[in-house]
């Protein structure tokens, strides 16, 4: 325990994926601004991502750079899941547990500034035992929403199986969650299916299960969400989160990203991007991006390209990693009303541009909150992970999205049907979602201001840390 007069020292352990690490760094900035001393675990290949945080808070944030653990299933030098298939996430969850001993040795050496709490990503469940050995509480940081966090924890808690003979349409109910939602088996997290169906090696399988069960032993959850979006799931402690307290502190991301390089160097300058968008009327452009990991198959890309051409809507299509674009499509788009960006895009700046009226997204939580904060309605095309859960929340609960494609990773939509969805969105049929998106953006802005629900939850969380 630190002396009462000491600055509380918190250890942060991110998971090396863009959608996980970036919001934890944003939370770190908020905690540092409130007077906490922070050490953030990183590895040589991920250390550069900390540069903006270290520059903004040089006196209160320090990195702990440790060698990335080797694993026979991981290529040498791979330290981040960006642009990698989902199976790598399972291996990373298992492999990262090897950081336990070096972190513990470091923590025991911090006599001048002892650690009072561990805040770690929900894929770093092994830190529950690390925190216990240090003798401090562990808080789970969830880069997903409350609903998107409760569903996988429910699965691992109950060990739901698909009955023999049932196809991917088998319905899995979640009776302990408000509204008792149900999802088809094809919509269930790949990580859970990898565990329950034995699709990964035994050690990795066990890590997947224990990761969630350890989270349920934690002191509580800090979630990048806010009450106006997920109040239904925050009103009472959820059985599927172990009845733990949840501090809803989002959206944690900064309001603006002038350089357009949040999470990586942009493939197109924010200024050039903005200038291209300036040529279009307000709300007329559809921004298309599926995050840092989802890669469309050639059939999916072909269907999307055809739908964009048939719908006649202006668009920006961001293609990341090894994504493909049908031959000749870029040239045809450039000659008319479309822009294809290969690589990382200045997404925050794009979504806040007046010309962007819709966001076709995989429903990754970072992208969801960036759209919500910008007041941009979404066309939901979930691929994997928590994305089907998020899509349900956005379409059915919040009313800020329309369904674009429900097939998931590897399933190509009908190009004509997708073109009709695009045309409807920019037309009168999309007016309700557009209006609701503006309302929710105002709610999000209020939530993070002084006196707002997220601001107050963050203040209460810091006060709890200061008592340790």
Show which residues are catalytic.
20, 121
Distance CA 315, CA 304 (A): 11
In the structure encoding, which two tokens stand for residue 312, read together? 């006649």
In the structure encoding, which two tokens stand for residue 103, read together? 């972190």
Question: Pairing state of beta strands 171-173 and 182-184?
Answer: antiparallel
Distance CA 421, CA 184 (A): 23
DSSP code of residue 212: H
Determine the 3-state secondary structure of 95 from DSSP. Answer: helix
DSSP code of residue 392: H
Which residues lie across from 126 on neighbouring strands? none
CA 216 to chain centre: 20
Which residues lie across from 138 on neighbouring strands? 118
Which residues lie across from 358 on neighbouring strands? 286
Distance CA 458, CA 452 (A): 10
Alpha-carbon distance values, 200 to 3, 16, 97, 457 (Å): 46, 20, 17, 39
In the structure encoding, which two tokens stand for residue 234, read together? 């925050």
How many CB atoms lie under 10 A from the CB of residue 192? 21
Q: Which residue has the tokens 């390089």?
A: 261
Longest dimension (CA), the chain: 67
| Cis peptide bond upstream of 251, omega within 30 | yes
Distance CA 439, CA 453 (A): 16
Distance CA 137, CA 78 (A): 31
């Amino acid at each position: 325990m630190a002396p009462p007069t000491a600055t509380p020292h918190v250890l942060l352990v991110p998971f090396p994926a863009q959608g996980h690490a970036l919001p934890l760094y944003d939370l770190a900035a908020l905690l540092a601004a409130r007077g906490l001393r922070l050490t953030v675990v990183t590895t040589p290949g991920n250390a550069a991502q900390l540069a903006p945080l270290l520059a903004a808070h040089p006196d209160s944030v320090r990195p702990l750079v440790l060698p990335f653990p080797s694993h026979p299933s991981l290529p040498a030098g791979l330290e981040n899941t960006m642009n990698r298939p989902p199976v790598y996430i399972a291996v990373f969850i298992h492999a990262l547990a090897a950081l336990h001993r070096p972190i513990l040795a470091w923590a025991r050496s911090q006599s001048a500034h002892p650690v009072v709490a561990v805040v770690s990503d929900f894929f770093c469940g092994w830190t529950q035992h690390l925190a216990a050995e240090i003798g401090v509480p562990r808080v789970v940081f969830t880069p997903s929403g409350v609903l998107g966090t409760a569903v996988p924890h429910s699965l691992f808690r109950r060990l739901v199986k698909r009955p023999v003979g049932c196809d991917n349409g088998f319905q899995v109910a979640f009776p302990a969650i408000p509204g008792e939602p149900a999802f088809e088996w094809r919509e269930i997290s790949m990580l859970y299916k990898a565990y329950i169906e034995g699709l990964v090696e035994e050690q990795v399988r066990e890590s997947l299960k224990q990761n969630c069960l350890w989270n349920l032993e934690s002191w509580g959850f800090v979630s990048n969400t806010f009450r106006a979006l997920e109040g239904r799931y925050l009103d009472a402690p959820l059985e599927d989160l172990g009845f733990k307290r949840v501090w809803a502190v989002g959206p944690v991301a900064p309001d603006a990203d002038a350089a357009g390089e949040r999470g990586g160097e942009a493939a197109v300058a924010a200024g050039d991007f903005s200038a291209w968008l300036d040529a279009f009327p307000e709300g007329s452009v559809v921004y298309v991006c599926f995050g840092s990991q989802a890669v469309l198959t050639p059939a999916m890309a072909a269907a999307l390209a055809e739908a964009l051409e048939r719908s006649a809507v202006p668009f920006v299509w961001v293609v990341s990693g090894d994504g493909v674009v049908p031959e000749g499509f870029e040239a045809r788009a450039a000659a008319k009303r479309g822009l294809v960006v290969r690589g990382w895009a200045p997404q925050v700046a794009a979504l806040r541009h007046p010309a962007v009226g819709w966001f076709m997204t995989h429903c990754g939580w970072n992208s969801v909150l960036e759209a919500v904060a910008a007041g941009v309605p979404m066309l939901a095309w979930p691929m994997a992970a928590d994305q089907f859960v998020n899509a349900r929340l956005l379409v059915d609960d919040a009313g800020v999205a329309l369904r674009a494609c429900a097939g998931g990773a590897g399933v190509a939509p009908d190009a004509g049907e997708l073109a009709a969805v695009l045309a409807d969105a920019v037309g009168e049929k999309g007016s309700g979602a557009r209006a609701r998106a503006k309302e929710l953006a105002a709610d999000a802005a209020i939530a993070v201001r002084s006196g707002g629900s997220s601001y107050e939850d963050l203040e209460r969380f810091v006060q709890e840390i200061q008592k340790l």
